[in-house]
Amino acid sequence: MHRRTLSRSLAKAMTDAQETAWHCGTTIGARLPILGGLTVPAEEAFAEWNRAWVEKAAAACEGAIAAGTAWQSLMLSAFLRPPSLAGLADGLIGVMDEAARPARRRVKGNAKRLTRKPARRSRA
């Protein structure tokens, strides 16, 4: 494990975290008027509320499973060949990345979905 590889994985993790924070802000900003019932009827707001909770629970479960799998892989490779400190740090960043990937994917999708302009209906 070279320090350059650790630096790249750490820089990628920081960039991913910043991008996710941006998407979270966009999603929260778009959902607040919906959940407050200001822009859509109560039924649609309730559906969005349920969707938000289900997505959070699913992302947490998927992230936990992915983190567990990545952790087991890291420990197995450490058992077969003891890693350097930089290698262990890089492996832990990989575990963190795997744990956050499902949430990042969902947040990015929500930000795109909620900021999309509604399609115009043509008059027939």
Average pLDDT over residues 24-35: 89
Higher pLDDT, 37 or 48: 48
In the predicted structure, residue 124 carries a pLDDT above the cut 70? no
- Nearest CA to 64 among 115, 99, 17, 15? 99
Average pLDDT over residues 81-85: 86
Average pLDDT over residues 9-32: 92
pLDDT score at 122: 55
What pTM value is reported for the model? Answer: 0.77
pLDDT score at 123: 58
Average pLDDT over residues 1-25: 86
Average pLDDT over residues 59-87: 92
User: How far is the CA of 22 from the CAs of 15, 16, 17, 63, 89, in angstroms?
Assistant: 11, 10, 9, 20, 26
Q: How many residues does the chain have?
A: 124
pLDDT score at 3: 65
pLDDT score at 120: 56
pLDDT score at 23: 94
Q: Are 24 and 55 in contact (CB under 8 A)?
A: no
pLDDT score at 103: 94
